[in-house]
Amino acid sequence: MFFNSIDFAVFLPIIFVLYWFVAHKNIKLQNLLIVVASYVFYGWWDWRFLSLILFSTIVDYSVGIGLKKQDEKWKRKALLWTSILVNLGFLGFFKYYNFFLDNFVSAFSFFGSPINSNSLDIVLPVGISFYTFQTLSYTIDVYKKKLEPTRDFIAFSAFVSFFPQLVAGPIERATNLLPQFYKNRRFDYHKAVDGLRQILWGLFKKMVIADNAAEMANQIFNHSAGYSGSTLVLGALFFAFQIYGDFSGYSDIAIGTSRLFGFDLMKNFAFPYFSRDIAEFWRRWHISLSTWFRDYLYIPLGGSRGDIRIKIRNIFIIFIVSGFWHGANWTFIIWGALNAIYFLPLMLLRKNRVNTNVVAQGKYLPSVKEFLNISVTFVFTLLAWIFFRAENVGHAWSYLSTIFSRSIFTVPSVVGNRHSLLIIFFIVAFIVVEWFGREDQYAIARFGLKWKRPVRHAMYYSIIAMIFWFGGSEQQFIYFQF
């Protein structure tokens, strides 16, 4: 069920009431309720894939117990690799089987030996890329002895399947989330209210910004051959806000919902479009995934230690794998490689940790230099997003070549359209609100808190009215396809 659906609007209050009224005195009962609710939530899409998540849970729980009992290095490694192979095996099969098969066949055809193959009609289980990484973080941390393995199967199942973040993150670390399932959770009124505000903002980002931007982006990308360069630039801009509004909106709803149940999830987005360089962008965009790759892939490979070739190799591996994680298409790999190219100079010149604070902290406006840096970083990101969104590499190239043609100097064809002007207005207003809220957890975290209650409530009603009236035609959350 989607967060912005009537099903979820009925589901959430029921679970909330049961959690705090019926199960509140017993932590095991609360965890069990979370497991049941999470399995119902996940099964709502397709009950057949419950077996996958259950199997993955059982394997990793058993691996954790086994790692506790084993001292011999090779046995511990074997257990770890069992977990890695099972989880990545499922991921590889469901997500990448057809991609590898098709490319294998193409390669043979290219060399003059065509072979027959049958692509499988594989349905990608929702959220598989997220929960497999989440459980892997558990087994890897237990292996490294950073975390004590749990004997509480219900708590572990709740950690793996926790419904607010199950299908599109944030990808939680066992060290952060699992211990929260052992602690008694007391209802915190202010935390719950803050969670509701974050849910509201997340819904606004998803339904008003992302879904409306998606309509325009889809129209332009799907018919890009018929548009001028300037219109294609607009299309890329719409996509940039579609993916940001969609994904960060989902994260806000996930984090806000978790807070209703007394859980604290990690921040997943920290206003990435205000980044002053690419390194900062990657510290602010999909933080849970980029830190996962940093800790479980980049650092074990050597990180930024070693000679220049190792550093370059590691950067490319990280970004290309990150791109590949998003989907089985060469466009994602190129998107990743592009980001590696952007990042490399900063790393080699040791300028990748220059901008670590919030831009224009304590000020209303950025300096000219900051504004230029933000703009340049955004333009580079935008060019990369074109590969991310394009159907295939050829589409991306033709899209880019039209942008870099004389038609970029024409007036975009969608500009006269009232609907597109309305969306542009919303995006501009959204950027302003995000700018003024950039020092907080989410843009409206402190917005209006000091106002009188009627005025504050009027603001909430305005946001609800905008969601109700201007919410775009329903689009699936983008990251569900990953």
Q: Which residues are catalytic?
A: 326
**Which CB, 15 or 220, lies closer to another protein?**
15
Can you tell me which of 187, 404, 425, 451 binds another protein, judged by CB under 8 A? 187
Which amino acid makes up residue 113?
A: S
Q: Cβ of residue 193: shortest distance to another protein, in angstroms?
A: 7
HSE, CB side, 13 Å, CA atoms: give it for residue 282.
Answer: 25
Among 389, 368, 382, 355, CA closest to 481: 389
Instruction: Decide: 208 and 471 in contact? Cβ < 8 Å.
Output: yes
Is residue 189 within the footprint of another protein (CB under 8 A)?
Answer: yes
CB contact set of 332 (below 8 Å; sequence gap of 6+): 323, 324, 325, 326, 387, 388
Is residue 473 within the footprint of another protein (CB under 8 A)?
Answer: no
Stretch that binds another protein, among 83-91, 218-226, 388-396, 456-464 (CB under 8 A): 456-464
Q: Cβ of residue 4: shortest distance to another protein, in angstroms?
A: 12
Is residue 344 within the footprint of another protein (CB under 8 A)?
Answer: no
Rounded-to-integer distance, Cα 251 and Cα 160, Å: 17
Q: Cβ of residue 177: shortest distance to another protein, in angstroms?
A: 23
Instruction: Decide: 64 and 150 in contact? Cβ < 8 Å.
Output: yes
Enumerate helices (H) and strands (E) in the chain, giving the number of each.
20, 0
Is residue 469 within the footprint of another protein (CB under 8 A)?
Answer: yes
Rounded-to-integer distance, Cα 295 and Cα 176, Å: 14
Is residue 193 within the footprint of another protein (CB under 8 A)?
Answer: yes
Stretch that binds another protein, among 98-106, 171-179, 189-197, 443-451 (CB under 8 A): 189-197
Is residue 45 within the footprint of another protein (CB under 8 A)?
Answer: no
Q: Cβ of residue 189: shortest distance to another protein, in angstroms?
A: 6
Instruction: Decide: 242 and 191 in contact? Cβ < 8 Å.
Output: no
Can you tell me which of 75, 223, 419, 457 binds another protein, judged by CB under 8 A? 457
Main-chain dihedrals φ then ψ at residue 227, nearest 5 degrees: -115, 160
Instruction: Decide: 256 and 166 in contact? Cβ < 8 Å.
Output: no
**Which CB, 20 or 447, lies closer to another protein?**
20
Stretch that binds another protein, among 28-36, 185-193, 320-328, 404-412 (CB under 8 A): 185-193
Q: Looking only at residues 194 through 233 of this chain, which bind another protein when binding is defined by CB under 8 A?
A: 196
Element of type H or E holding 58: helix 50-69
Stretch that binds another protein, among 37-45, 273-281, 300-308, 463-471 (CB under 8 A): 463-471
Rounded-to-integer distance, Cα 214 and Cα 230, Å: 18
Chain contacts with another protein (rule: CB under 8 A): 6, 17, 20-21, 187, 189, 192-193, 196, 457, 460-461, 464-465, 468-469, 471
